Amino acid sequence: MALNLVVSLVSILISSIFPQPRAFQHPHDLFGLSPNSANFISSTSSPTSSTSIPLTPSIGAPPLAPALFVIGDSSVDCGTNNFLSTLARADRLPYGRDFDTHRPTGRFCNGRIPVDYLALRLGLPFVPSYLGQSGSVEDMIHGVNYASAGAGVIFSSGSELGLHISFTQQIQQFTDTYQQFVLSMGEHGANDLISNSVFYISIGINDYIHYYLRNVSNVQNLFLPWSFNHFIASTIKLQIKNLYTVNVRKVVVMGLAPIGCAPHYLWEYRSENGECIEEINDIVREFNFVMRYMIEELGEELPDSKIIFCDLLEGSMDIIKNHRRYGFNVTADACCGLGEYGGWIMCLSSEMACSDASNHIWWDQFHPTEAVNAILADNIWNGLHTNMCYPMNLEEMVVSKEK
Ligand SMILES: *[C@@H]1O[C@H](CO)[C@@H](O)[C@H](O)[C@H]1NC(C)=O
Ligand SMILES: *[C@@H]1O[C@H](CO)[C@@H](O)[C@H](O)[C@H]1NC(C)=O
């Protein structure tokens, strides 16, 4: 009941604030899912003034990987949804207010997301979103970000929010990119580039937020959490195998975040004193356990692959528990949002936001702040604050010599 109320309230707010979704002028292009049509790009008003950021790393050393490719949901979307008709868009302030450009980009954060920090660690520029770049090989040579907010492993997860590019569609888009590389640099060149590049996959949480926990299609009666977890994890595993066939060798698979601690659920489940909702975190914990096991298995199955699993719940719980050490004094309230814990109404305007996000763990009702993303990225890179990647960290994956 409460959820329905929120959804309708949000729809009213959205329709008054964004009377005309600016994208969605060329639905056939959207379903073609390709940025290559110059028509699509030039006739769609640019959602932000800068979707690709010409930030080059400060150190002159050669990059540790030729490119970074990103597949996922709002945890790593950097502008895809700016081109889609959906409620899940971060193209308005206060989103991006603490980013390098101090403008909204489509990132669901006040500033940088983990893949921004990791691109810089690899010696690469920030990776452009697939729909936000020209589609030329030159624009994609350092990597592409296909992630789309609201996307899940199950095609219909998150569809109540509007359009998104699902997991399978993102893999398809990458395959198109691969074909373009082959045409431009030959099979050998393309395979060399792809096999040395890093793939970052961060998806699955919407299958819980927008499907399982909402009990869409009676899913909770049809699947126990255990079998639902296995279904999602084995689908991800299968897609990594598909990527392997187009020469993907280095993959980072992110586990799910502790959304039982997210302001939205603290509000919905009426948390006392900001206590996390353990029944939700238990499902996430179990998923991460299953996923880690499957990734380990997969790494042994696929020759010459380096596939790692990073447990986002582990890394995030460390931050929540030891928040003072990390400089956070607001652990339960979203910086931007309305209602108890800022978890009732989504972040829609600057007036809804706190003035300083740097001492907050949560930016909005579902997403962490840039400060948290920086810590998590450090952990993924080399376990700086706490170890959360298995069987190795990203630095070890890219620095160790090829056989
Ligand atoms: C899920 O929804 C179905 C109806 O679609 C309902 O019968 C069932 O009780 C719900 N399950 C839970 C756990 O809420
Ligand atoms: C958090 O710390 C800042 C100063 O560092 C202070 O202004 C603010 O009131 C504190 N907030 C809470 C909830 O303790």
Give the burial string for 142-165 (b: 16+ CB within 10 Å, else e).
bbbbbbbbbbbbbeebbbebbbbb
- For ligand 2, is residue 329 a contact (CB within 6 Å)? yes
Q: Is the pLDDT of residue 339 over 80?
A: yes
Give the pLDDT score at 158: 85
**Is 2-7+24-51+62-399 assigned to CATH 3.90.640.10?**
no
Mutate to test the pocket of ligand 1, among 3, 220, 222, 280 (most ligand atoms within 8 A of CB): 220
- For ligand 2, is residue 359 a contact (CB within 6 Å)? yes
Residue 209 neighbours by CB distance under 10 Å: 23
CB 68 within 8 A of CB 115: yes
Q: Is the pLDDT of residue 5 over 80?
A: no
74 is catalytic: yes
**What is the rounded average pLDDT for all residues in the chain?**
87
How far away, in angstroms, is 221 Cα from ligand 1 center?
Answer: 6
In the numeric block, the tokens 């604050």 are attached to 385
Give the pLDDT score at 61: 77
Give the pLDDT score at 213: 86
How far away, in angstroms, is 218 Cα from ligand 1 center?
Answer: 5
- For ligand 2, is residue 332 a contact (CB within 6 Å)? no
What value does the mean pLDDT take over residues 143-162?
91
Model confidence pLDDT, tens digit, residues 222-244: 998 889 999 999 999 999 999 99
Q: Which atom of ligand 1 is nearest to the CA of 221?
A: 11
Residue 75 neighbours by CB distance under 10 Å: 28
- pTM metric for this prediction: 0.86
Q: Is the pLDDT of residue 23 over 50?
A: no
Give the pLDDT score at 141: 96
Mutate to test the pocket of ligand 1, among 214, 215, 279 (most ligand atoms within 8 A of CB): 215
135 vs 317: which has the higher pLDDT: 317
How far away, in angstroms, is 88 Cα from ligand 1 center?
Answer: 26
- For ligand 2, is residue 361 a contact (CB within 6 Å)? no
Give the pLDDT score at 212: 87
Burial class (CB in 10 A: 0-12, 13-18, 19+), 49: exposed
How far away, in angstroms, is 269 Cα from ligand 2 center?
Answer: 26
Q: Write down the catalytic residue from 142, 264, 360, 367.
A: 367
Q: Write down the catalytic residue from 74, 157, 166, 197.
A: 74
Closest CA to ligand 2's atom 2: 329
Residues touching ligand 1 (Cβ under 6 Å) are 215, 218, 220-221
Model confidence pLDDT, tens digit, residues 360-400: 999 999 999 999 999 999 999 999 999 999 999 999 999 96
Q: Which atom of ligand 2 is nearest to the CA of 330?
A: 13
Strand partners, 345: 338
Q: What ligand is nearest to the CA atom of residue 328?
A: 2
CB 204 within 8 A of CB 153: yes
Confidence of residue 287 (pLDDT cuts 50, 70, 90): very high
Give the pLDDT score at 44: 35
Least confident of 89-98, 181-190, 202-211: 202-211
367 is catalytic: yes
Q: Is the pLDDT of residue 266 over 60?
A: yes
377 vs 215: which has the higher pLDDT: 377
- For ligand 2, is residue 330 a contact (CB within 6 Å)? yes
